[in-house]
Amino acid sequence: MPVKTYQPQANAGSFRGYAQSQMAAVDEEIARIGPGTPAGEYHRRFWHPVYITEELGELPEAIRILGEDLVLFRYGEQRDQIGLVHRHCIHRRASLEYGKCEDKGIRCCYHGWLYAPDGEILETPAENTKTAERLRKSTRLGAYPVIEYRGLVFAYMGPPDRQPEFPVYDACVYDDMTSATYKAPYRCNWIQVLDAIMDPTHTTYLHSRNSHPQFSEGMKAEGVLHFYERNDNHFLGSSTRRVGDNVWVRVNELILPNFTQAGSAFAVDGTRQCYFGRSCFTRWVVPVDDENSIIYAWANFGSRWDPHEYNTREGYEMIEQGEILDRSLEERKRFPADSEAVEGMGSISTHKGENLMPTDRGIALYRKRLRKQVRALTNQIEPPQPIKSADSCIRTYGQDTVLTLPSKNDEDDQMYLDRIGAVVMEMQFDLEHFNEGNRDDEIVSRLKKLEADGID
């Protein structure tokens, strides 16, 4: 039987495998987040969510955040207070994951040393010596301050004299919204996960055309993109799509270093009007270590958010990435979602191996600013914190707006969509400092007027 051979279709010189077989280097400056690294120091200037309160029971939990091994535990007579300490006892390194939660703190299982939540050594029961007394005065277990807020435990892991005010976002204080906490692990570097929020184009391809419509049919349409940078740390990516006679403006956002919001996942599909519908999630991409990340988030439900029927564990996973997390390899190949896209890049991606395109402008914008701030911090210039408005909330923009504005006979529709997208965004920027509490009402009424008057 003749041996079947395959002839290259092009000449041999067009094959580049050998020339490109060496891996590009890791983007050390912004990808690595361990203690003492530039981006690690940068992250240690912000509050990060590190756990879901109701998942912390009576026993301590070992966690890893920013490359540090830690233990989260309950203490106090009612065990209603929460402490966060380095995982290993400073006596002889036993893990406090096996410690005992007590009224005053956590006690190591090995020789019974008791630590206060701020790391003070309260007792060294087998060591009633001057040496132990000296040690108690001179040394502490590493510990970090925590704040429990709306069902999430937040920690600040930076220098104590740089601890920022705890940020409260407008997205957290709506009376008519129901929120539920969720988490989602990603087995890759935090930048890979974060990039997706500034990449509105992937909803058209990954979430719609290449799998099946994971969110809605309307997302199949390619959007006209706009990207904005505001206040040096707030990035917006809007995608303006045509769905029949309607125009759908969907806005994703990122506040450095890792706060993200978007429009709805399931409430809006472009077929019905919507005026400043708000984000389906309020979410942080938290680095676990250089090769793992975890999302801590609130999924948001109500008339301006996703429908209550998605307020289930599977619902949160679908809001997070369009599919549930626990799927077979075959399912993940047939219907890939965000996990497949970002984990498939490898555990820590090499930015030099990319070719950024105009649709990646949001990614280029935020990475450039991030890099600048990481570098500045190495020169003792502190990064900006999110900016509060007069009502002490931080303004956010993650949203959907759907207006009935049919295409015009005398104009290219892409140009028209481009203009509508820009007008909708700029109108909101004009109202940024509008009378507190009425901002949303004013945005809604101006959007309705815009729709009624039309856009020239």
- The tokens of 388 are what? 């509060």
Of 69 and 229, CB closest to ligand FES? 69
Of 253 and 338, CB closest to Fe ion? 338
Is 199 one of the binding residues for Fe ion (CB under 5 A)?
Answer: no
Strands 259-261 and 274-278: unpaired
Number of residues that bind Fe ion (CB under 5 A): 2
26 binds, among Fe ion, ligand FES, none (CB under 5 to 8 A by kind): none
Closest approach of ligand FES to the CB of residue 87, in Å: 11
Q: Please give the Cα distance from 274 to 155 (Å, whole number).
A: 36
Q: Please give the Cα distance from 77 to 106 (Å, whole number).
A: 13
Is 338 one of the binding residues for Fe ion (CB under 5 A)?
Answer: yes
From 77-85, 331-339, 360-368, 410-418, give the range in contact with Fe ion by CB under 5 A. Answer: 331-339
HSE toward the beta carbon, residue 112, CA cutoff 13 A = 6
Closest approach of ligand FES to the CB of residue 112, in Å: 6
Residue 384 contacts by C-beta under 8 Å, 6 or more apart in sequence?
A: 231, 232, 233, 373
Residue 252 contacts by C-beta under 8 Å, 6 or more apart in sequence?
A: 197, 198, 200, 236, 237, 238, 239, 260, 261, 262, 263, 362, 398
From 106-114, 208-216, 306-314, 363-371, give the range in contact with ligand FES by CB under 6 A. Answer: 106-114
113 binds, among ligand FES, Fe ion, none (CB under 5 to 8 A by kind): ligand FES
From 19-27, 178-186, 335-343, 358-366, give the range in contact with Fe ion by CB under 5 A. Answer: 335-343
From 109-117, 329-337, 358-366, 436-444, give the range in contact with ligand FES by CB under 6 A. Answer: 109-117
> Contacts with Fe ion in 385-404 (CB under 5 A)?
none
Q: Which of 110, 149, 205, 335 binds ligand FES (CB under 6 A)?
A: 110
Closest approach of Fe ion to the CB of residue 201, in Å: 10
94 binds, among Fe ion, ligand FES, none (CB under 5 to 8 A by kind): ligand FES
Closest approach of ligand FES to the CB of residue 94, in Å: 4
Q: Which of 113, 115, 182, 301 binds ligand FES (CB under 6 A)?
A: 113
Closest approach of Fe ion to the CB of residue 72, in Å: 29
From 40-48, 108-116, 208-216, 297-305, give the range in contact with ligand FES by CB under 6 A. Answer: 108-116
Q: Which of 108, 116, 152, 221 binds ligand FES (CB under 6 A)?
A: 108
Integer CA distances (angstroms), 24 to 40, 60, 290, 292, 435, in order: 22, 41, 17, 20, 50
Of 204 and 373, CB closest to Fe ion? 204
Closest approach of ligand FES to the CB of residue 252, in Å: 46
Q: Please give the Cα distance from 275 to 189 (Å, whole number).
A: 36
Site map 66..105 versus ligand FES, x via CB under 6 A:
-----------------------x-xx-x-----------
Closest approach of ligand FES to the CB of residue 141, in Å: 10
Of 91 and 242, CB closest to ligand FES? 91
Is 195 one of the binding residues for Fe ion (CB under 5 A)?
Answer: no
Of 146 and 262, CB closest to Fe ion? 262
108 binds, among Fe ion, ligand FES, none (CB under 5 to 8 A by kind): ligand FES
Of 86 and 446, CB closest to ligand FES? 86
Closest approach of ligand FES to the CB of residue 56, in Å: 22
> Contacts with ligand FES in 374-403 (CB under 6 A)?
none
Number of residues that bind ligand FES (CB under 6 A): 9
Contact positions vs Fe ion (CB under 5 A): 196, 338
Interface contacts to ligand FES, rule CB under 6 A = 89, 91-92, 94, 108, 110-113
